[in-house]
Structure 1
Amino acid sequence: MSKNVILSNGERENPSPLIYDKHKKHCIFRTKTLLSEEKKEDEKCTVSVVFIDHEGYIRNAGIIKHTVPELEEGRMPKINAIILHRTDSSTINGTLASFSKGIGAHFIVEKDGNIYQAASLFVYTSHVGKIKSRCKEEKTWSSEEKKKIEAFGWNAKKIHDHEKIKQYPYRYPYNMDSVGIEVIALYDKKNKKWESATDSQKKSIEKLVDIIKNIYELEDRDVYEHDKISYKTEGEGADLYSVN
């Protein structure tokens, strides 16, 4: 794994290229007997290295590049977290079409497990919305902070503006420091229930999350369900990824 560049404020910059350093665990080692000496040739790894290229796209992981220019908002200097979403759509084409309106995540996981990357990892996209107060949700606030936040009432914008100036992880991740993964699934409004992810989707989510975690030095605690950190339909990010 390449080390990130240190910014003036002590944080690490989102660099290029970045290498996924777990690839050796998945190597297929081949040996060859040399007739003259009857000894084995040095073991050679035949697996292509997974990495992020100079444009911010994951390579050699079977991910389909499908850039949606309207998604890319601006430079993302630091990736702190991964946020899991469901699309409330049934097809990849419908999802990509909706992304062209400027709202959407970096990745889409199709029902058959195919992964699409729609935006560079070097830029942020509008996929989170206004974040909740972390200290309020997790009941870790001081009496002074509690008084201040409660004074905002139900004003989501005031809460968001107050929270976003905090350093992560004292706040929830937001657009400018998180990677979004959208999973194609519908919402049943009548029964108020999200469609379950397919087995293929779950395997692909696990694979993608593992790559991003490894490259950007994240932990499972940095993986969030969208509705837990923003004002979204309950269960949107549930049961998509299991913490190991």
Structure 2
Amino acid sequence: MFRIDEDGMVRSALIEARRYTSLERGDMPVVNGIVVHQTGGSTAQSTFNSYANSTVGAHFLIDKDGAIYQTASLYKRANHVGLLRSRCLERHNCQPAELKRLQAATLRQRSTMEHGKAFPDRFPSNRDSIGVELVGEYNRNPEFGTVRGADEYLYVPVTDEQNAALRWLVGELRRLLSVAAEEVYRHPQVSYKTPTEAATASW
């Protein structure tokens, strides 16, 4: 078990604080979900190097050996989701008028429409979700002969140590922040990302 201090930092012997205030984009008074990512890089240090000069990142990073780092306050938003998928489109339950608008919209327009909704009519977004990154690179799918976008990349499998740490971390966050089990997602489930990202993550 762990606790969260007044700065939104976790107090636990199992989590090392590596806070990057440049990732924090404003207050996050409520947490409705957790989004699990893979970094695209092969080491934790490469992610730390990126975070030092970036405004895009997540709240936690789990290294391949299972070490957990907290990189942003749980009381602050972080840019980790990207363009938001339409929840009603994914669940096949849009009202006819909204379905027509969504089908005519670009992905960016769809995302803007989703951000105008209150949770739970939309997926958790940057403004109300915790991001957890798993160190893991991607490689080109050898079945692709030419570059055709995100689908041609394959992320490496998540390690057993990472999954053990992820299960513990997600369990603690859900308990402390009252996040429903069905509101924990892999990144591609809520945004337009490489389908294999975090595909082997389990919690």
List gaps (5 residues or longer) in structure 2: 143-152
Q: Which residue of 1 aligns with 2:111?
A: 160
Q: Which amino acid aligns with 2:15?
A: I
Is the contact between residue 158 and residue 198 of structure 2 (CA under 8 Å) also seen in structure 1? Answer: no
**Deviation (angstroms), 1:61:** 4.4
Distance 1:195 1:147, change over 3 A: same
Q: CA deviation at 1:68?
A: 1.0
1:133 corresponds to which of 78, 86, 90:
86
Tell me how far 1:170 sits from its aligned partner. 1.2
Q: Which has the larger radius of gyration?
A: 1
- Aligned equivalent of 1:195, options 117, 140, 156: 156
SS at match of 1:185: strand
CA RMSD of aligned residues (A): 1.1
CA distance in structure 1 between the partners assigned to 2:51 and 2:91 by the alignment: 32
Q: Whose helix proportion is higher, 1 or 2?
A: 2
Kept in 1, the 8 Å contact 2:155–2:198? The answer is: no
Per the normalisation by structure 1, the TM-score is 0.76
AA of the residue aligned to 2:130: V
Pick from 141, 144, 148: which aligns with 2:101? 148
Aligned counterpart for 1:221 among listed residues 153, 157, 182: 182
Tell me the amino acid that sits aligned with residue 207 of structure 1: W
Q: Give the C-alpha shift of residue 228 in structure 1.
A: 1.3
User: Where do residues 7-86 of structure 1 align in structure 2 (5 Å cutoff)?
Assistant: 23=1, 50-86=2-38
One-letter amino acid matched to 2:55:
G
Percentage of matched positions with identical amino acids: 35
Indicate the structure with greater strand content: 2
In 1, distance between residues paired with 2:60 and 2:175? 17
**Among residues 127, 132, 143, which one is paired with 1:176 in the alignment?**
127
Number of corresponding residues? 192
Q: Which amino acid aligns with 2:48?
A: L
Measured at CA, do residues 60 and 233 of structure 1 come closer, stay the same or move farther in structure 2, by a change above 3 Å?
same
* 2-structure distance, mates of 1:175, 1:221: 17
The 1-side partners of 2:28 and 2:84 are apart by: 18
Amino acid at match of 1:129: G
CA apart distance, 1:239: 2.2
Pick from 101, 116, 122 the counterpart of residue 69 of structure 2: 116
* Distance apart, 1:190 and its partner CA: 3.3
Is residue 93 from structure 1 mapped to residue 54 from structure 2 by the alignment?
no
Deviation at 1:95, TM superposition (A): 0.5
Identify the residue that residue 212 of structure 1 maps to in structure 2: 173
Amino acid at match of 1:104: G
- Cα offsets for 1:160-192 (capped at 9, x unmatched): 111111111211111010000000001011343
SS at 2:168 equivalent: helix
Give the match's secondary structure for 1:73: strand
* Corresponding position of 1:12: none
